[in-house]
Amino acid sequence: MDRYSGRRFVIGGICVVVAFVFVAKLFVLQIMNPEYKQYADRNVLRRIVQYPSRGLIYDRNGKLIVYNQAAYDLVVIPREVKSFDTLEICSILEIQKQELVDGLKKAKDFSRYRPSILVSQISSMQYAILQERLFRFPGFFVQLRSLRQYEHKTGAHFLGYIGEVDAELVKKDSYYKPGDYIGKSGIERFYEKELRGRNGVSFYMVDVHNQIKGPYMNGKLDTLAQRGKNLTTSIDVGLQEYGEQLMRNKVGSVVAIEPSTGEILCLVSSPTYDPSLMIGRSLSKNYSKLVTDSLRPLFNRALMSQYPPGSIFKIAQGLIALNNNLVTWDTGFPCNKSLVHCHNHPAPNNMGLAVQYSCNPYFYQVFKRIIETGRYPNKFLDSEYGLDRWRSQMLNFGFGQKLGLDLPGEKKGSLPSSKLYNKLYGEHRWAFTTIYSLGIGQGEVMVVPVQMANLAATIANRGYYITPHVVKKIDNRSDMITQKFKRHDINIQKRYFEYMANAMQAVVADRGGTGGQARVDGITVCGKTGTAQNPHGDDHSVFICFAPKDNPKIAMAVYVENAGQGGEWAAPIAGLMIEKYLKDTIPTYRKAQEKKIMDANLLHRYIMQNFFRKKR
């Protein structure tokens, strides 16, 4: 027997063991380890996100405001990229080479194996050219997106805009990926979850030439995109457009509310901008121009500007004093100009006449009774108590706090408390004579225009308001909206609101009233003018109103910066807005007034004010 014959069994055994090891290793790599399976799949499969159609936005009458238009994104999977002609792709897409290089680096940093958007919002023409040549660019493909488009060049501040999601949010919210879009302001931001819908995914087989050959597994793994919900707003787009025309070349705002529902009919902030500037690949460039504009067109003055309210505050002061039995409707005070400045007018022998003539000394005395309660013999302690009680009652009107609108960025204004004055002047070292200017809407009190409109709606409703809001239906359902925006009662006797409505009617309709330019033939308009003192320049023109007096359909606040008295600019703008909304036409006799307002350019006052403020 050959002494070496046993070696063949040893060698055979070794070969079997080695073969087993290789087979086992291949089994682990190809079957057990999902990572290598994913690498293999990526060589033959392409996962494409199907972005849903974003919800449409309509006005209260069913007019389309915002819709979608097809656009395309160039997407890259860095691992699959081979050498390619960078100049060719830059030429097609009209981008700089450095932009392409930076985009590729950003995509690699995110993931070498996952798709990233390289160039967004490619035009249809660019897409057509690129699609024919895409086989030359391994690792690149195009996916369908949509861009917002606007039927009207109006409403930029309440509509808002969408932009690319930032890296911080991508980390916090797994729904979003780099290159996704999200609402950045306005309705688009507040109702982002309703508008965005839900992404879907499709898997395709891809050949070596980067061409899609068909769906993978006949689409069994695909998920459908779910469209975003449509929104019906409370905005009357015709009224919104008209308000923006009246406020052209002026700084300020117009806010109109339907009192019975709290639905905002228009929300004008001026200067404004064309919302179509904030779409497409020019968004970044246009945003830079708008954000550096000295007139601050991106700033939503209707929700964010905090102003002294001026004389419109006298309405709330009077109601509080009446409800606390500090005065009666027939209480009169002399117009003593040694107390506080006032214009010439007949004697304010009752509160109705004081409102009609907007008498400052009268409401000086009213506010004095509110603050000096007589509860404490020490006048400083008594004033602290009186001010804090006044503040708690003013909070009921919605002042000094956010009303809770369905729009981001709302400011709350300011209602000073005893803590503020203790900080400013020292504890127990101030009294009514220190803070008397609050009684006529000056001093440390600040309100936001939407709060002014809400005050008008509260008087119109004779003692309550519904939280103001700009969306009335989500996919034609109003139940979610009505549940969210509640009724707020002021806890002041209804008869005092009726008295105040009569006085506000006299402001507009009677001789000597300061709001005569807001009259509308055939409609009883109730209003109150205000002239908010401005230490930096011309005073601000203020007017609040509602109409008709009974069963009111519209309540409004107009605030025009640096425009002087409330009756001069704010009141006629309000009158024209009421005429437009309730009659849908402007009569011939008002055309001259309309032209005067539309042609007026008051921007120079605002510009000069800010020039001298900077100089100081």
CATH value at residue 178: 3.90.1310.10
Residue 403 pLDDT > 70: yes
Residue 100 pLDDT > 70: yes
Using an 8 Å Cβ cutoff, are 170 and 182 in contact?
no
Summarised one tens digit per residue, pLDDT across range 58-76 is: 999 999 999 998 888 888 8
Structure letter (DSSP) for residue 121: E
Residue where a domain stops, chosen among 193, 215, 233? 233
Summarised one tens digit per residue, pLDDT across range 514-548 is: 899 999 999 999 999 998 877 777 889 999 999 99
Supply the mean pLDDT for the chain: 89
Buried (b) or exposed (e) across 519-538, using 16+ Cβ within 10 A? bbeebbbbbbbbbbebeebe
Do 224 and 326 fall within a single domain? no
Residue 185 pLDDT > 90: yes
Q: CA angle at residue 190 from 189 to 196, to 5 degrees?
A: 60
Do 200 and 346 fall within a single domain? no
> Is 265 part of any domain?
no
pLDDT of residue 32: 56
Do 227 and 316 fall within a single domain? no
> Is 581 part of any domain?
yes
pLDDT of residue 147: 86
Structure letter (DSSP) for residue 230: P
Do 217 and 311 fall within a single domain? no
Residue 36: pLDDT band with limits 50, 70, 90: very low
Residue 38 pLDDT > 60: no
What's the domain range around 150? Answer: 46-233
Residues 437-446 have a mean pLDDT of: 94
Residue 211 pLDDT > 90: no
> Is 161 part of any domain?
yes
When divided into structural domains, the chain yields a total of 2
* DSSP per-residue codes, 34-91: HHHHHHHHHHHEEEEEEPPPPPPEE-TTS-EEEEEEEEEEEEE-GGG-----HHHHHH
Residue where a domain stops, chosen among 208, 233, 258? 233
Residue 188 pLDDT > 80: yes
Residue 200 pLDDT > 50: yes
Do 450 and 577 fall within a single domain? yes
CATH (domain of 421)? 3.40.710.10
pLDDT of residue 48: 74
Residue where a domain stops, chosen among 205, 233, 261? 233
Summarised one tens digit per residue, pLDDT across range 549-608 is: 999 999 999 999 998 888 899 999 999 999 999 999 999 999 999 999 999 999 988 887
> Is 153 part of any domain?
yes
Do 401 and 544 fall within a single domain? yes
Q: What is the spatial distance between Cα 62 and Cα 415, in angstroms, rounded to a whole number?
A: 39
> Is 2 part of any domain?
no
Type and span of the H or E element at 603? helix 603-615
> Is 351 part of any domain?
yes
Residue 133 pLDDT > 50: yes
Residue 371 pLDDT > 90: yes
Residues 463-492 have a mean pLDDT of: 90
Do 119 and 210 fall within a single domain? yes
> Is 415 part of any domain?
yes
Do 212 and 316 fall within a single domain? no
pLDDT of residue 210: 59
Query: Beta strand 464-466 with 162-164: parallel, antiparallel or unpaired?
Result: unpaired
Q: What is the spatial distance between Cα 501 and Cα 352, in angstroms, rounded to a whole number?
A: 9
By percentage, how much of the chain surpasses pLDDT 70? 91
Residue 5: pLDDT band with limits 50, 70, 90: low
Using an 8 Å Cβ cutoff, are 540 and 563 in contact?
yes
> Is 553 part of any domain?
yes
Model confidence, pTM: 0.86
Do 210 and 67 fall within a single domain? yes
Do 309 and 228 fall within a single domain? no
Using an 8 Å Cβ cutoff, are 465 and 262 in contact?
yes
pLDDT of residue 461: 98
pLDDT of residue 330: 96
Do 313 and 226 fall within a single domain? no
Residue 530 main-chain phi, psi, to 5 deg: -150, 145
pLDDT of residue 50: 79
Do 219 and 316 fall within a single domain? no
